[in-house]
Amino acid sequence: MPTLANEPHRARDVAESFGADAERYDRTRPGYPDALVARLAAGGPDVLDVGCGTGIAARQFQAAGCRVLGVEPDARMAGLAERAGVPVEVSTIEDWDPAGRAFDTVVAGQAWHWVDPVAGAAKAARALRPGGRLAVFWHSFQPPPGLGDAMAAAYRRAMPDSPLFQSPLPGPEAYSLMCDKASDGMRQAGGFGDPAEWRFPWERDYTRDEWLEQVPTFGLHSRVPADRQRRILADIGAAIDAAGGAFTMGYTTVVATAIRA
């Protein structure tokens, strides 16, 4: 599926599939490192959260003292964020109108790959005050040795003909490639200084059931038939059981960022 592999922002069926179970998404998806939130919040109180989803990152920035506006294309996700106290405008960032408003920071957590990297950066430049920062970031995964391979094998058994499920969970280097693409978009859009990459390593412990509850929220699952999803979950559960029923996932949050000139 070259569109999803090379231009995921064009795969709108996947990009806007997460709201099918917004409550599960909000309940199971991890937040962001406190050090990252603090570093970005120090840039000023006004934050625009692109692809804010259910408001996971937005609520962290609010807790850090920021005023946050979310932009989210899926009304189901936006509704949950608003119920949690995050004001949201339902739109893609490419179509969103800043209407003269200006922000100190524009962020996107786990969302910028669903955005046209040049058009999105150009809109962020319009919305940022001079000296403001655009920061887009993703969580990479580092399972314990062997468990990542077992998880990938579960997908391959269920979807042997799909090129999307042939590798273990993507680590930091895979997300560095996404950062490179985002940085190239910032350069092409103009209005930014030289982009930089930041990394924030951290860990989270999971029980078998906690991990299995999160797995259906991953975007590619919307393209997996229900019977094969059940097989994937069963095989991953068996792999975690074989590893002792729980594990520690190593994460690295990888950030592409640039300052508005």
112-130 exposure pattern, b = at least 16 Cβ within 10 A, e = fewer: bbbbbbbbbbbbbbbbbee
Q: Residue 180: inside a domain, yes or no?
A: yes
The pLDDT of residue 1: 35
Q: Which residue has the higher pLDDT, 166 or 65?
A: 65
- Label residue 34 by pLDDT band (50, 70, 90): very high
Q: Residue 212: inside a domain, yes or no?
A: no
Range with lowest mean pLDDT among 3-7, 72-76, 84-88, 105-109: 3-7
The pLDDT of residue 223: 75
Give the count of domains, the chain: 1
Q: Residue 27: inside a domain, yes or no?
A: yes
Quick: pLDDT tens for 88-130.
999 999 999 999 999 999 999 999 999 999 999 999 999 999 9
Quick: pLDDT tens for 218-253.
877 777 888 999 999 999 999 999 999 999 999 999
Q: Residue 81: inside a domain, yes or no?
A: yes
Residue 53: CA count within 13 A, CB half-sphere: 30
Contact between residue 116 and residue 59 where contact means Cβ atoms under 8 Å apart: no
Contact between residue 208 and residue 151 where contact means Cβ atoms under 8 Å apart: no
Q: Residue 36 pLDDT more than 70? A: yes
Q: Residue 13 pLDDT more than 90? A: no
Q: Residue 47: inside a domain, yes or no?
A: yes
Alpha-carbon span 216 to 230, nearest angstrom? 10
249 Cβ neighbours under 8 A, 6+ residues apart: 141, 142, 143, 203, 204, 205, 206, 211
Q: Residue 60 pLDDT more than 90? A: yes
The pLDDT of residue 164: 62
Q: Residue 158: inside a domain, yes or no?
A: no
Picking from 152, 172, 160, the residue whose alpha carbon sits closest to that of residue 218 is 152
Alpha-carbon span 137 to 198, nearest angstrom? 9
4-26: average pLDDT: 74
Q: Residue 219: inside a domain, yes or no?
A: no
**CATH number reported for the structural domain that contains residue 98 in this entry:** 3.40.50.150
Residue 85: both structure tokens together: 């106290």
Residue 181: both structure tokens together: 């693409």
Alpha-carbon span 155 to 150, nearest angstrom? 9
Q: Residue 3 pLDDT more than 50? A: no
pTM over 0.85: yes
Pairing of strands 46-50, 67-72: parallel
Alpha-carbon span 203 to 238, nearest angstrom? 22
* Mean confidence (pLDDT) of the chain: 92
Q: Residue 195 pLDDT more than 90? A: yes
Q: Residue 159: inside a domain, yes or no?
A: no
The pLDDT of residue 2: 37
Q: Which domain holds residue 133?
A: 8-143+170-205+249-260
